[in-house]
Structure 1
Amino acid sequence: MPEGHLLHHYARRLHADLAGRAVAASSPQGRFDARPFDGRRVERVHARGKHLFCEVQDAPVLHVHLGHDGLLLRTDDPSLPPLRGTRLRLATEGAAWSLIAPSRCEPLTPAARDDVLASLGPDPVVDTGPAAREEAVRRLTAKRSPVGTALLDQSVWAGLGNVWRAELPHLLRIDPARRVDAEEAGRLWDLSVRMLGDCVEPGKIITVPDGEPGERWVYKRDRCRGCGAPVRVQQLGGRTCYTCPAEQT
């Protein structure tokens, strides 16, 4: 499932291509009514957590959640035919973006958009100040569930998914099956801000800077990359979690 840093990556690129321009909007798949957006000028594209919003002049707010399998694909040749299964295509004279297999692609009123935003916790990509840190620590320590469950709760912190909830606690030697105190929560937040922020531009999850592309410390590994111990696999928050029993005690 795409995680929050990737939505910010998409939002920045979409904003660069579309903002200030009228777009040709269509639904090649036929499952979305693109007419309210067709020929309208895009004002802003932004993300929060795993949600992407496209603000269009005199039109509803376009809300996208990629879910488990969603993709956003770009071509710099808008004359090329759209891919089969494209739910929504937004094109200008210089680029075209195709949205494929999202879990949500919907028009929202500004009030409904604000409701979505209000349901989310601090986002480590954009909420980098001391007040946001304090709120992030408060929300995480207030949860009575294990930290590995709380990190998947988008009302606690917005944007973290299963890869980050495995890798971030491992880097700080925290067992995700227990709760954390304020000091640990602060260190987790600081690491999230740094690592998710660094991953926005490349649009990838990089947790092992000197490793091969896609290399992880514990996520979906048989053995811990650090110490070689067999990785422990358990269910937390309804998702499979990976930890090192030797380093995360």
Structure 2
Amino acid sequence: MPEGHTLHRLARLHQRRFAGAPVEVTSPQGKFAEASEVDGRVLVRAEAYGKHLFHHYTGVGSVHVHLGLYGTFTEAKLPVLAPVGQVRMRMVGGTHWTDLRGPTRCELLTPDQVDAIKARLGPDPLRRDAKPERAYEKISASRTSIAALLMDQSVLAGVGNVYRAELLFRHGVAPMLPGRSLDPVTWKEMWTDLVALMRHGVRVGRIDTVADEHLPHVTGRAPREDRHGGEVYVYRRTGQPCLVCGTPIAHRELAGRNLYWCPVCQPE
């Protein structure tokens, strides 16, 4: 599932390419019935909140998109080509067009419905209006593991499996530590680090979490080969040596998701 930096990159891209002018909106697949209500309207603003993307239009409301596990946007310059595959929504602007395939949600919402979605989400590290203390209030009151809490979108919006694993490693926090045992100083450091990591992800389009001294060209190891891209410490490195201490990276399932950590660098 795409993490928050991906949605913020999309919001910026759509803002740049489509906002401020009427947009042609259709549903070649036919499953986005409200496309006709949006078609021809001016896209005022595109924004992301966590893993949610919103296109705000004049006089009609907002298109809400959640990519889920399989949703993707494909972008191209004009001229428009015939749809390929199951295109849920197509947007055509003055210079570019984009197709949305396979999202969990693609729907037209009222402003109140948009506000309701935002209200049930935790702070998004990539938003200027984020209040990290809101997340810590929930974390510090919970017996649930910090690994599970970081993936709870009502606690923290936009963090997925990669950022979760890497953030915990970078701060030496054991994944199964109860939230209420995480001290406020550590949380403040984690939040600051997460903001920096995710902003970097927005800029470069991938997740990089490894410090300069542990990069392949410094240590002599082979670069990471993974469809997710980027250099990471523990994510999807089960059994491989920790880049810091050499201990094999551990793995288990937690709430149906894969969890990775170093038993030495992140002691219980």
Is this a same-fold pair by TM over 0.5? yes
1:183 aligned counterpart, secondary structure: helix
Partner of 1:21: 21
Q: Distance in 2 between matches of 1:5 and 1:28?
A: 28
2:153 is matched with 154
> What's the counterpart of residue 237 of structure 1?
255
Kept in 2: contact 1:195–1:207 (CA 8 A): yes
Unaligned runs of 5+ in 2: 217-222, 224-228
Q: Which stretch shows the higher mean deviation, 176-185 or 188-197?
A: 176-185
Residue 43 of structure 1 corresponds to: 44
- Read off the aligned partner of 1:162 and give its amino acid letter: N
Conservation of the 8 A alpha-carbon contact between 1:78 and 1:91: no
Query: Is the 1:71–1:100 Cα contact (8 Å) retained in structure 2?
Result: yes
Instruction: Look up the SS of the partner of 1:35 in the other structure.
Output: helix
Secondary structure of the residue that 1:201 maps to in structure 2?
helix
Q: CA deviation at 1:124?
A: 0.5
Match of 1:144 in 2: 143
Structure 2 residue aligned with 1:106:
107
Amino acid at match of 1:247: C
Alpha-carbon shift at residue 186 of structure 1 (Å): 1.4
Percent of aligned positions that are identical: 39
Considering only aligned residues, what root-mean-square deviation do their CA atoms show, in Å?
Answer: 1.6
- Secondary structure of 1:233's counterpart equals strand
TM-score of the superposed pair, with normalisation by structure 1: 0.94
**Map of 2:98 onto structure 1:** 97
**Aligned residue for 2:69?**
68
Q: Does the aligned pair in 1 maintain the 2:18–2:94 contact within 8 Å?
A: no
Q: Supply the distance in 2 between the matched residues of 1:231 and 1:48 (Cα, whole angstroms).
A: 32
Letter in 1 for 2:191: W
Matched, 1:208 2:215: no
For 2:158, the aligned partner's letter is: G
Return the offset for 1:176: 1.0
Shift of 1:231: 1.4
- Aligned residue for 1:43, secondary structure, equals strand
Say whether the 8 Å CA contact 1:25–1:88 is kept in structure 2. Answer: yes
Aligned to 1:53: 54
Runs of 4+ aligned residues of structure 1 deviating over 4 Å after TM superposition are: none
SS of 1:194's partner is helix
Task: Compute the displacement of 1:194 (Å).
Answer: 1.0
Q: Deviations over 1:101-144 (max 9, x none)?
A: 11111111111110000001111011477xx1333322322222
1:187-206 deviations in Å (ceiling 9; x for gaps): 21111111111211222111
Q: Which deviates more, 236-245 or 46-55? A: 236-245
**What is the DSSP-based 3-state SS (H/G/I as helix, E as strand, rest coil) of the residue aligned with 2:80?**
coil
Task: Give the alignment partner of residue 181 of structure 1, picking from 159, 163, 183.
Answer: 183
Aligned to 1:7: 7
Deviation of 1:82 after TM superposition, in Å, equals 2.7
CA contact (8 A) 1:136 1:189 kept: no
